[in-house]
Structure 1
Amino acid sequence: MSSDKISIFWFRRDLRFEDNTALYYALKDKHPVLPLFIFDRNILDDLDNTKDARVTFIYDTVKAMHNQLAEKRVSMLVNYGKPKEVYQELIKKYNIAAVYTNRDYEPYAKERDETIEKLLAEHDIEFNTFKDQVIFEKDEILSNSGDFYKVFTPYKKAWLEKFKKTELNTLSSALSFENWHKTKANSMLSLQDMNFERSDIEIPKNEIDDQLIKKYEEARDYPAREGTSRLGVHLRFGTISIRKLVEEILKVSDTFLSELIWREFYMQILHHNPQVVDKAFKPKYDKISWRNNEDEFQRWCEGKTGYPIVDAGMRELNTIGYMHNRVRMITASFLTKHLLIDWRWGEAYFASKLLDYELANNNGGWQWAAGSGVDAQPYFRIFNPYSQTDKFDKDREYIKKWVPEVDTDDYPEPMVDHKEARERALKVYKKAVSNS
């Protein structure tokens, strides 16, 4: 073990040097900072797709950061393993005074961090965590009674009131600091070392388009338009600072800010209600008699339902790892209401495909569609795919892009009649809710 004390900065969902809270404070401390990233086997080993685009994106981002640090004679440790085992080895090799990292709020992340904090404490090593991926976290937005908000509108009002009294302080780039642990740069892992292959799915650029954001409110519901920012993947992995993004959008769009507040609303719901990962927020909805027909689920996954707007969304998802927000609602409603397939099936499928997948948002969105979640649409509100198409894809541009055979004999008939499916759903939902 080296005799010189160091600190470790642990990169997770904050893959940037700009305005990185915990990294900034680590570098201001007295001990040189050794940067670390762990490709977590607890997560990666559960992925079915060896060409997962998210893994490729993380890998390319970490590699670029590794190379930037190498220019400063700083070695970024990049490990593939289970975090506890990685830290057990680091403790043997280095004289670690403290570990710095930014907080993560998902159940696995909290359990992981509790394990690491306990391990470090056994060796008298500090574990310092900071807020970074949100403006307000955990218990910072509470009602007058001290409870968490279960309805979005009052939460948003309280969020905005607190925000008025809050200064957004963006922090200096970590690359401007010299307090790094200088050593010979180590070699970088390859994707093959982790049993992954390179995905050819293109990741949207990390750019804030002011003109797009200005037109966000009028364009966001139309899937054929370039009306959404596609920044979700960058928020997910922290390649963009939430503070920088909010600073920019405050100048141009209240509607876009509202979407970011929804993100934090669902995060605080997950924090206070970790059971929603696999249970309905409203327990009575766990009594729904789902049909869960596997063949019908497969047709939904493949975009072969006979409902063009649904099929277009699913094919978009399967092809580029993204689905337009309006279409996410339509496809989720179709699965849970038209087919009476458990929202957990759909949520898991989206989780496996979405580049911008975040547990809180995905779970909140699916439970909203199913009627089982916090501030959800009433169960009797069932999207009509045809009227949604007429309203938001009138000229069928989006549909024709993703379902080119839509007007030919090759396109299947609707797998279920809308009116019959709606009546069936109302009957099944009403029975579950009224018997509770």
Structure 2
Amino acid sequence: MGSLPGDAILNILCRLSVKDLLRYRCVSKPWCSLIDDPHFVRTHLEHSMETDSNLSLIRGDRELHSIDVDTLDSAIRLNPVDVCGVEILGCFNGLLVLTNSIGDMAIWNPSTRRYKMLLLSDLIENPFPNGIIEFGIAGFGYDSVNDDHKLLRMIHYFGVDIRSFRSEIKVYSLKYNTWKRVGDFPYRDGYKHHGIGVFVSGSLHWMVTRESQSYASFFVVAFDFATEEYREISLPEKKASEKEAFYTNLAPLGGWLCMVCIYSGNEKADHVDIWAMKEYGVKESWTKLVSVFPSSVTGPFDYATPLVYFKNARQLLLDQGGEKFMLYDLKKNTAKSVIKISDITKCFDTFVCVRSLVGLGGGKRGSKGKKAEENGNKRKKQEQQLRGRKR
């Protein structure tokens, strides 16, 4: 390839997998410099997202597993460095945010094995030393205005006196390695069961509700990472009978904000409606993508959540009840197939992750490293101090 022009080499390399690119860094110093260059990292990421390539499904339930979207044939167990008992707080641009049982976090790229630890002690400023700490909403995404990946966390502080309470929201900047307190969440209720924000168009989104539980009382609250402001987003106009039992949540789908309405039947879902906001922020752009009904192909299921939209094939990949994956043909308006992967258990949290070279500005590759060892002693102290903390 030495005789090829630079643009041709770039065009070829950006189509390769991260695994291959990491091997090719050893070919020569120029190739290593090219693959590590931020411009190439962005180009490779953009190509993957435009072509729906290099996608994997990350499932987190005590253990982490990765499933290749192209094959959907097996699950590979992931071993996050220096984080045990993991829960996923968000995923974007190939970066996962993980937290453990005592609240320490890590931003981790499972493709490159690079990570950055975020200790709980750097986040909290507990005004009640003998009190209890609880976590509320959270979310992770990308601020394109400032070219910065950011993490949001809500922390509740409870003193010994039941009247002693404080709540705050902080945002972590990966670019500057700092936590910053931002405006309080403007709604007391509605986020408890929708804790992980859905990231779309530079903002995190949560479903909230006012006094009643009718459909008319639901709306979406968004937090913009660039402006650090909250705003409300209306849901689509639709007729809903008060007698209908349904559950509503949010999901990202190829850059769209989606609303998923699950209508209950006899213990299982009667059907699932999936709506997409095709022009972000425009209420009139809400469009019903599909209504998914149980069939001889799918069998009964609890719910169905969209994961990936294959535009060229006009097919939708859905998580079916946390146990199977459904491939739905939007042209024929029917389920094409259902895939069950034998070596994974039922899981309610599945994240779509694009395998990328996106870096963290630090961390180690493939081992704990000196910094992680130093952090271990801090965590042991925290375990003793926070043994009574609830999550």
Task: Please state which band the TM-score falls in when normalised by the shorter chain.
Answer: under 0.3
TM-score for both structures, normalised by structure 1: 0.21
TM-score for both structures, normalised by structure 2: 0.23
**Greater helix fraction, Structure 1 or Structure 2:** 1
**Greater strand fraction, Structure 1 or Structure 2:** 2
From the CA coordinates, give the structure whose radius of gyration is larger. Answer: 1
